């Protein structure tokens, strides 16, 4: 039961970390190529990694095992650590995050101005 729980925790941690790091690298590289300046400075990237690594490891590694873990078959020795489902989740979440970040990066100022002027017109 504990072994399966550790394996599941490692899988969750890897999925989370790969998603965050893929997004951070693509944002830094693409942003630097398009705007000629990286949207994330070196210190900001270090803080993102520090916070993401710390909180992810605490959140994903402290889940207690349950009896339901014993109901499934054990994984084989040759089973890849990153499954096809995990890869789909990583890529899907990365695309979602990149869409949101690039929207804020490239169109965020216009959205904020539009929202601000609409907010003023409503008298809020």
Q: In whole angstroms, what is the distance from residue 10 CA to residue 12 CA?
A: 5
pLDDT in tens, 37-84: 777 788 888 888 888 778 777 777 777 888 888 888 888 888 888 989
Domains held by the chain: number: 2
Q: Record the pTM.
A: 0.76
Tell me: do 63 and 21 sit in the same domain: yes
Share of the chain above pLDDT 70, in %: 98
Assigned domain for 76 exists = no
For residues 106 and 60, membership in a common domain is answered with no
- The length of the chain, given as a count of residues: 124
Q: 12 and 59 in contact (C-beta within 8 Å)?
A: no
Each residue of 89-102: pLDDT tens digit? 999 999 999 999 99
19 or 55: which leads in pLDDT: 19
DSSP state of 111: H
Looking at the fold, whether 64 and 89 belong to one and the same domain comes out as: no
* 45 located within any domain: yes
Mean pLDDT of 9-32: 87
One domain, residues 46 and 10: yes
Give domain status of residue 3, yes or no: yes
pLDDT at 124: 62
Distance of CA 49 to the CA centre of its chain: 11
Provide the residue range defining the domain that includes 57: 1-68
* Cα three-residue angle 4-9-10, rounded to 5 degrees: 100
């Amino acid at each position: 039961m504990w072994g399966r729980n550790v394996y599941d925790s490692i899988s969750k941690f890897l999925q989370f970390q790969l998603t965050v790091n893929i997004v951070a690298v693509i944002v830094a590289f693409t942003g630097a190529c398009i705007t000629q300046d990286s949207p994330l400075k070196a210190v900001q990237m270090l803080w993102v990694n520090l916070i993401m690594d710390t909180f992810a490891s605490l959140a994903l590694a402290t889940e207690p095992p349950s009896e339901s873990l014993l109901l499934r078959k054990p994984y084989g020795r040759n089973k890849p650590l990153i499954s096809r489902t995990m890869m789909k989740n990583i890529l899907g979440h990365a695309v979602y995050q990149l869409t949101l970040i690039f929207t804020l990066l490239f169109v965020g100022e216009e959205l904020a101005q539009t929202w601000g002027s609409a907010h003023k017109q409503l008298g809020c």
